[in-house]
Amino acid sequence: MTDRKRILIGEDDPSILRMTRLRLQHEGFDVLEACDGQAVLDQAEAEPVIHLILLDIKMPKLNGYEVCRRLKAGPGTARIPVIVFSASETQLQHLANRCIEAGAADWIKKPFRTKDLLGKIHRALGEEGGIHG
Protein backbone atom coordinates (compact mmCIF):
# COMPACT_ATOMS: atom_id res chain seq x y z
CA MET A 1 0.00 0.00 0.00
CA THR A 2 1.28 3.44 -0.87
CA ASP A 3 1.12 6.66 1.15
CA ARG A 4 0.61 8.68 -2.03
CA LYS A 5 -2.58 10.72 -2.06
CA ARG A 6 -4.97 10.02 -4.93
CA ILE A 7 -6.58 12.95 -6.72
CA LEU A 8 -9.37 12.72 -9.29
CA ILE A 9 -9.33 15.53 -11.87
CA GLY A 10 -12.61 16.32 -13.62
CA GLU A 11 -11.70 18.45 -16.65
CA ASP A 12 -12.93 18.33 -20.26
CA ASP A 13 -10.09 20.36 -21.83
CA PRO A 14 -7.37 17.81 -22.75
CA SER A 15 -4.50 20.31 -22.50
CA ILE A 16 -5.52 21.56 -19.04
CA LEU A 17 -6.13 17.98 -17.90
CA ARG A 18 -2.69 16.88 -19.10
CA MET A 19 -0.89 19.90 -17.61
CA THR A 20 -2.61 19.51 -14.24
CA ARG A 21 -2.01 15.74 -14.17
CA LEU A 22 1.71 16.19 -14.90
CA ARG A 23 2.07 18.90 -12.23
CA LEU A 24 0.36 16.74 -9.61
CA GLN A 25 2.28 13.60 -10.54
CA HIS A 26 5.51 15.60 -10.28
CA GLU A 27 4.47 16.51 -6.73
CA GLY A 28 3.98 12.83 -5.86
CA PHE A 29 0.21 12.41 -6.22
CA ASP A 30 -1.54 9.52 -7.91
CA VAL A 31 -3.93 10.99 -10.47
CA LEU A 32 -7.19 9.73 -11.92
CA GLU A 33 -8.95 11.55 -14.76
CA ALA A 34 -12.51 12.11 -15.90
CA CYS A 35 -13.58 14.24 -18.87
CA ASP A 36 -17.24 14.86 -17.99
CA GLY A 37 -19.38 15.33 -14.90
CA GLN A 38 -21.00 11.91 -14.98
CA ALA A 39 -17.59 10.22 -15.28
CA VAL A 40 -16.42 12.10 -12.16
CA LEU A 41 -19.39 10.76 -10.19
CA ASP A 42 -18.91 7.24 -11.55
CA GLN A 43 -15.21 7.14 -10.66
CA ALA A 44 -15.72 8.71 -7.24
CA GLU A 45 -18.28 6.03 -6.41
CA ALA A 46 -16.27 3.15 -7.91
CA GLU A 47 -12.78 3.91 -6.55
CA PRO A 48 -12.08 2.64 -3.04
CA VAL A 49 -9.81 5.59 -2.19
CA ILE A 50 -9.88 9.13 -3.51
CA HIS A 51 -8.40 11.79 -1.25
CA LEU A 52 -9.46 14.88 -3.20
CA ILE A 53 -11.33 15.90 -6.35
CA LEU A 54 -10.37 18.82 -8.60
CA LEU A 55 -13.45 19.78 -10.53
CA ASP A 56 -13.96 22.07 -13.51
CA ILE A 57 -17.25 23.99 -13.63
CA LYS A 58 -18.03 23.74 -17.35
CA MET A 59 -18.08 20.08 -18.32
CA PRO A 60 -20.29 17.92 -20.52
CA LYS A 61 -23.21 15.94 -19.05
CA LEU A 62 -23.18 17.55 -15.57
CA ASN A 63 -21.58 20.85 -14.58
CA GLY A 64 -19.15 21.04 -11.69
CA TYR A 65 -21.62 22.61 -9.27
CA GLU A 66 -24.11 19.77 -9.78
CA VAL A 67 -21.36 17.15 -9.51
CA CYS A 68 -20.17 18.70 -6.25
CA ARG A 69 -23.70 18.76 -4.82
CA ARG A 70 -24.20 15.09 -5.72
CA LEU A 71 -20.81 14.11 -4.27
CA LYS A 72 -21.64 15.88 -1.00
CA ALA A 73 -25.02 14.11 -0.86
CA GLY A 74 -23.55 10.63 -1.48
CA PRO A 75 -22.78 8.45 1.56
CA GLY A 76 -19.55 7.14 0.04
CA THR A 77 -18.33 10.45 -1.39
CA ALA A 78 -19.51 13.16 1.02
CA ARG A 79 -16.21 13.30 2.92
CA ILE A 80 -14.00 13.78 -0.17
CA PRO A 81 -12.83 17.40 -0.34
CA VAL A 82 -13.62 19.10 -3.65
CA ILE A 83 -11.71 22.03 -5.11
CA VAL A 84 -13.54 23.71 -7.97
CA PHE A 85 -11.65 25.48 -10.73
CA SER A 86 -13.04 27.69 -13.45
CA ALA A 87 -11.99 29.99 -16.26
CA SER A 88 -15.55 30.78 -17.29
CA GLU A 89 -16.76 32.45 -14.11
CA THR A 90 -15.70 36.09 -14.38
CA GLN A 91 -17.08 37.33 -11.07
CA LEU A 92 -14.99 35.82 -8.30
CA GLN A 93 -17.52 36.50 -5.54
CA HIS A 94 -20.20 34.69 -7.56
CA LEU A 95 -17.82 31.75 -8.07
CA ALA A 96 -16.99 31.66 -4.36
CA ASN A 97 -20.66 31.79 -3.34
CA ARG A 98 -21.68 29.03 -5.74
CA CYS A 99 -18.80 26.82 -4.57
CA ILE A 100 -19.79 27.27 -0.94
CA GLU A 101 -23.43 26.48 -1.76
CA ALA A 102 -22.36 23.30 -3.57
CA GLY A 103 -20.19 22.15 -0.65
CA ALA A 104 -16.74 22.66 -2.17
CA ALA A 105 -13.76 22.89 0.18
CA ASP A 106 -12.16 25.61 -1.95
CA TRP A 107 -11.96 27.12 -5.43
CA ILE A 108 -9.33 28.51 -7.76
CA LYS A 109 -9.56 30.60 -10.91
CA LYS A 110 -7.92 29.36 -14.12
CA PRO A 111 -5.27 29.98 -15.16
CA PHE A 112 -3.67 29.22 -11.80
CA ARG A 113 -0.14 29.04 -10.49
CA THR A 114 0.98 25.56 -9.46
CA LYS A 115 2.08 26.86 -6.06
CA ASP A 116 -1.42 28.29 -5.41
CA LEU A 117 -3.14 25.07 -6.45
CA LEU A 118 -0.81 22.95 -4.31
CA GLY A 119 -1.41 25.20 -1.31
CA LYS A 120 -5.17 24.71 -1.66
CA ILE A 121 -4.76 20.95 -2.12
CA HIS A 122 -2.58 20.58 0.97
CA ARG A 123 -4.97 22.70 3.06
CA ALA A 124 -7.96 20.64 1.91
CA LEU A 125 -6.05 17.47 2.80
CA GLY A 126 -5.14 18.88 6.22
CA GLU A 127 -1.45 19.12 5.33
CA GLU A 128 -0.75 22.80 5.96
CA GLY A 129 3.02 22.54 5.56
CA GLY A 130 3.05 20.07 2.71
CA ILE A 131 4.08 22.28 -0.22
CA HIS A 132 7.24 21.03 -1.90
CA GLY A 133 8.45 24.23 -3.53
pLDDT tens, position by position, 76-85: 999 999 999 8
Domain boundaries, given as residue ranges, for the chain: 6-124
- pLDDT value of position 110: 82
Is the CATH code 3.30.390.50 the one for domain 6-124? Answer: no
Burial annotation 62-82 (CB, 10 A radius, 16+ → b, else e): bbbbebbbbbeeeeebeebbb
The pLDDT confidence band at residue 111, using thresholds 50, 70 and 90, is confident
Tens of pLDDT, residue by residue over 62-78, are 988 899 999 999 999 99
Query: Are 30 and 124 within 8 A, CB to CB?
Result: no
pLDDT at 1: 47
What pLDDT sits at residue 129?
Answer: 44
Q: How confident is the model at residue 132 (pLDDT cuts 50, 70, 90)?
A: very low
Note the pLDDT of residue 72.
93
pLDDT tens-place string over residues 16-42: 999 999 999 999 999 999 999 999 999
How many helices, marked H, and strands, marked E, lie in the chain?
A: 5, 5
Residue of 30, 29, 36, 32 whose CA lies nearest to 13 = 36
pLDDT, averaged across the chain: 87
The answer to whether the predicted template modeling score (pTM) of the entire model surpasses 0.85 is yes
